[in-house]
Amino acid sequence: MTKPGKSATGEVRIVGGLWRRSKLPVLDRPGLRPTGDRLRETLFNWLGQDLSGWRVLDAFAGSGALGLEAASRGAAWVKLVERDAAAAASLRQVVTRLPGAAERVQVQAGDALGALIPDAWDLILLDPPFDAQLFEPALAAATAAIQPGGWIYLEAPRPYPESSRLALHRHLKAGATHAHLFRRNVDNSAP
């Protein structure tokens, strides 16, 4: 069992952009499984390497690997939302040590679903704990929060289909993880 306040037990690295090779601590917390380097690299190959000007929400931030990777690749504004207080504190420390991150990366301690309010996001990153059963509510909330033409990335233990509002752009299975990249349809008349 994890002891409260236990420190970092591992690390991941940012794989591209301004902060390439920067280490991110991974705390030993229930449900925390950071997205691996290869899967993150694949995601940003799908999206393109330059996210200049993008507004990104990492709704279940954990180690911050996904959101900080987006910021490293030029995203103008990144919000990292993490419910676990120790993980949020660790994210704040990371943001203070990465050059220029404090000006464009915000860490919010709190509920991920509560942060998914309509705000014209260009990219929403969803990687909830696999045992939390938050996939459907998170995907529905993200669909309402993303701007038309925007992207939603979802990691889940099973495949999720596209819908009338979301087109499945890319999907792959890596181990026990299904990675999905959805694009919000531009036609606002779709239910």
Over residues 107-130, the pLDDT tens digits come to 999 999 999 988 789 999 999 988
Q: What is the mean pLDDT of the chain?
A: 89
Q: How many CA atoms lie within 13 A of 169 on its CB side?
A: 17
- Indicate the domain borders of the chain: 8-184
- 153: phi then psi, degrees, rounded to nearest 5: -105, 130
List CB contacts of 20: < 8 A, sequence separation 6 or more.
14, 72
Q: Is 109 helix (H, G, I), strand (E, B) or coil?
A: strand
Residue whose pair of structure tokens reads 């289909």 in the numeric block: 161
Question: Which structure tokens are listed for 50?
Answer: 């330059």
pLDDT, position 2: 31
Structure confidence by residue, pLDDT tens digits, 32-62: 677 778 889 999 999 988 999 999 999 999 9
pLDDT, position 27: 78
Write down the CATH number for the domain with range 8-184: 3.40.50.150
